[in-house]
Amino acid sequence: MKKILLVAAVAAGLSGGAAQAATGNSATGTGTANAVVVGPLQITHNTGAALNFGSFTAGTGGTVTVTSAGVASATGDVGLVTGSSPTADAFTVVGTPNRAFGITASSSNTVSTGGATPATMPFSVSAANSASLTAGGTFALAVGGTLTVGSGQAAGAYTGSYTVTVTYQ
C-alpha cells in the first residue's frame, strides 16, 4: 500500500508541474546588469619640461634625434655642439589605476624662428604607442623626437609645439 501511495504522489507531483508549465502563456526571467565608471584620463605637461634638440651646426643637413631618455644623436652633416643640453619632454598621465591607454602625437610639426620671414624645420614626435597606469593611477610619459635640418639651415633660436593625446583602451 505504501508503494502505491508513493507512486501516486510522485505522479501527481509530476503531472502538476507539467500542467503548470503547459498552461502558462508567458514567462519572466531576471537578468543581471553591470557597469564600471572609470575616472577621467588626464594628461599634464610637466612644468619646465620641453623637447629640446639642443645646439648644433647645420652643415649640408641631416637630422637631430632625441630619445625618450633624453639622449641626442645626429645624422648627415649635422654636428652636435659640446655642452648643449638636449632633453626629452615630460608629461604626467592620471586616471583609473591599472587601466591601459593608447598614446598618439600630432604630425606635421614644425619649429620656427618667428618674425616676418621665419625659417622653419619639421620634426616628428616619438612616444610609446600604449601604456598602463600604475596601481596609484599615474604614468610618467617621456617624449622624444627627430628634427630634420636643411642644408645651410638659418642660424637662430627655433620654437614650436605639438600635441599628445591619451585614450583609454
CATH number where 126 lies: 2.60.40
User: What pLDDT score does 134 carry?
Assistant: 98
Q: Is the model's pLDDT at 10 over the cut of 50?
A: no
Domain of 152 in residue numbering reads as 42-168
Where does the pLDDT of residue 24 fall: very low under 50, low under 70, confident under 90, or very high at 90 and above?
confident
Q: Angle CA(9)–CA(10)–CA(12) in degrees, nearest 5?
A: 65
- The percentage of residues in the chain with a pLDDT greater than 90, rounded to a whole number, is 83
Q: Angle CA(114)–CA(120)–CA(102) in degrees, nearest 5?
A: 105
- Is pTM beyond 0.95 here? no
Is 75 within the bounds of a domain?
Answer: yes
Task: Report the b/e string of 45-58 with b at 16+ CB within 10 A.
Answer: eeeeeebbbbebeb
Is 127 within the bounds of a domain?
Answer: yes
Structural domain count, the chain: 1
Report which residue type is found at 60. Answer: T
Structure-block grid coordinates of residue 101: 591607454
Q: Is the model's pLDDT at 45 over the cut of 60?
A: yes
Where does the pLDDT of residue 21 fall: very low under 50, low under 70, confident under 90, or very high at 90 and above?
low
Is 57 within the bounds of a domain?
Answer: yes
Is 74 within the bounds of a domain?
Answer: yes
Is 10 within the bounds of a domain?
Answer: no
Where does the pLDDT of residue 77 fall: very low under 50, low under 70, confident under 90, or very high at 90 and above?
very high
Is 27 within the bounds of a domain?
Answer: no
